[in-house]
Amino acid sequence: MDLTGSDLADTWQEKIAAFEFASPLLFANNLDEAQILLNNGGVFNLVIFSDQNSGNVQALLKAFQANVGCIADFQGIVCSNPSAAFMAGVFEFGVEQFFSLENWAEEVAALTRKTVETLSDPTSAESRTVNLSRSIRSADQAAIQKAAAAIKDLAEFDYRAAFAKGKACEATGDYNAAASSYAMSSAMNKMFRPGSASLGEALLVTGKVDEALEVFKTLEKTNPYDVERKANIAAAYIEKGDFESANRYVAMAEKIAPENSRVLEAKAQVLLCTGKVGEAFKLMDGMSEVGPFFAAKLNELGIQLSQSGKGKSALALYQKAHKIVRPELRYKISMNAALACRRLQAWDMALKYLARCQKEFGGPFPKLLKIKNSVNDAKAQSGGGSGGTTEEAS
């Protein structure tokens, strides 16, 4: 990925011709192209050409983290004279490899060979981490649990494995366990910032706002380019009802990356909490890969609308939310949409949402079966009985 604006788009194939690569190379010269390549699931190495740290560098490192895992040995930065601030910024992700402009092709060739060799061993920490990351992206809960079990023994002594285990817990909705895993990852490697950042997010989701804010503010001192961190601080202040501080951090994040999805999340959260739902809905059109905290807030709002007799509004919210949340979080949206339909006595629509929920989860699970039985009972009685009650889940 070239962020330097050089002639690399025209010359990179010529530069690699003399070297042996263990895997095909793909080139991108803007952030959107690179994220599409990462999200397609065929990328195992990331090499960034950049002279300095930036919001785009941070975004790429986070996209790689989500799709492949926090594997420092699979990543590199091409910059002949990196500043101390640049090295510190990428070291937060464990990245230590800097390649010179003169020798980058040879270094990248060696990087690909090492990656293929490492991944050929299915017992390696890297291979199991990649499998778990891929399972999470597939949103198949059964596959996530299987991959998480395969990495469990490593999580006791490998900070990357502990982090990956936290992501698995997060994907299955166990945020307390996720927080424990992230805390363990951070304790094993205090310079590994993703562990601490994810710990803060898990604390935020579980309502431990002051603890989350403390984590985020400590991290904020180390890296001024992290847009998501500023958005998370804003989210914490919103939870505390301090909208002045929240808006200040939103503004700082906006200066770095105004279209970043997490910035839009924070802005939308302010609007939702101040009753400006329509304006928040408009912002949601620009979001993608929404994380667990904002997804939980959307679910909470949907539940409130449904329980207050505004079922159609709840369904409209769920429809929009389903398009923007991360794949592993969609099944909860579908389940809550089914429950909103049940309240509206729209039995057939409820069953369709439950079928989608089961497909997204990767199979049936107890709560889904309970809701399905409830809907079928109520349908058979033509609205004459509730068939039992089941509350929505955020």
pTM for the full predicted model: 0.77
Long-range interactions of 258-263: CB distance < 8 A, separation 24+: 259/286, 260/55, 260/59, 260/227, 260/228, 260/231, 261/286, 261/287, 261/288, 261/289, 261/290, 261/324, 262/227, 262/228, 262/231, 262/232, 262/291, 263/227, 263/231
Is the distance from CB of 161 to CB of 183 less than 8 angstroms? no
- CATH for the 8-119 domain, from 1.10.3470, 3.40.50, 3.30.70, 3.20.20: 3.40.50
How far apart CA 213 and CA 208 sit, in angstroms, is 9
CATH number of 290-394: 1.25.40
Q: Is 28 left (phi over 0), alpha (psi -120 to 50) or beta?
A: beta
How far apart CA 374 and CA 307 sit, in angstroms, is 17
Q: How many helices (H) does the chain have, and how many strands (E)? A: 20, 3
| From-to residues of CATH 1.25.40 in the chain | 290-394
Q: What are phi and psi of 325, to 5 degrees?
A: -80, 160
Q: 362 burial class (0-12, 13-18, 19+ CB within 10 angstroms)? A: middle
User: What is the pLDDT tens value at each position of the chain, 394 positions in all?
Assistant: 998 888 888 899 999 999 999 999 999 988 888 888 888 888 999 999 999 888 788 888 888 988 888 888 899 999 988 988 888 778 877 788 999 999 999 999 999 999 999 999 998 889 988 988 888 888 788 888 888 888 888 888 888 889 889 988 988 888 999 999 999 999 998 878 888 989 999 999 999 999 999 999 998 887 777 888 899 999 999 999 999 999 999 999 888 878 778 888 888 988 888 888 889 888 888 888 887 888 888 999 999 999 999 999 999 999 999 999 988 889 999 999 999 999 999 999 999 999 999 998 888 999 999 999 999 999 998 654 444 445 555 5
Q: Where are the alpha helices (DSSP H) in 174-226?
A: 175-188, 193-205, 209-220
**What is the sign of the dihedral through the CA atoms of 285, 287, 288 and 293?**
negative
| From-to residues of CATH 3.40.50 in the chain | 8-119
Compute CA distances 360 → 97, 137, 328, 367, whole Å. 38, 11, 8, 14
